[in-house]
Amino acid sequence: MKDRLIIFLEYLGIGQNKFAQNVGLSAGYVNNLGENISSRSLNKILNVYPQLNEKWLLTGKGEMIKPINTQKAKGNNSINSNINNIEGNVTISHNDFSNLLELQKGYQEAQKELNERLKTSQKQIDTLLEILKNK
C-alpha cells in the first residue's frame, strides 16, 4: 500500500511531508505505512484527495484515479478537472479555505491602502485647484 501511495504522490507532484500536512497526518506517516491503514487515516486521505480510487489504494485493483464523473470537486486538481462538470455543492479542504481567507484579507488590506492613497490624491488635487483659482 505504501508503494501505491507513493505512486499517487508522484502523480500529484507533491512530497510525503506535504501530503501528510495536507491530510493532517504525522510527517513520517507514509514511511511508516505498512499494508494496513486505519479507517480514520483512510477517510482523511479520501476527504482531501477524492480523486484517489480507494479500491486501488487498498488492493491495487482498478485505476488509481476515479473517473471524473464520480469525483467530488475538492482541492485544486479535481476542481480544475471538474470545472465544467460541477453540479450542486463544491467542497474544499480546510487548508484551501484558510488560504482563501488569507488571500481575501490581503486583498482587503490592499484595497484600504489604495483608498487612503486615493483620498490623499484627491486632497492634493483640491488644493492645487484652489491655488489655481486664487491666481
Query: pLDDT of 16-37, one tens digit each?
Result: 888 888 888 888 888 677 778 8
**What pTM was computed for the model?**
0.49
For 52-117, the DSSP string reads: B-HHHHHHS-S-SB--GGGS---HHHHHHHHTTS--S-----HHHHHHHHHHHHHHHHHHHHHHHH
Structural domain spans, the chain: 2-82, 93-135
Indicate the fold that domain 2-82 takes in CATH. 434 Repressor (Amino-terminal Domain) (1.10.260)
Grid coordinates representing 109 are 488590506
Grid coordinates representing 24 are 493532517
Mean pLDDT of 85-109: 77
Predicted local confidence at residue 125, as pLDDT: 95
**Quick one: pLDDT band at residue 73, thresholds 50, 70, 90?**
very low
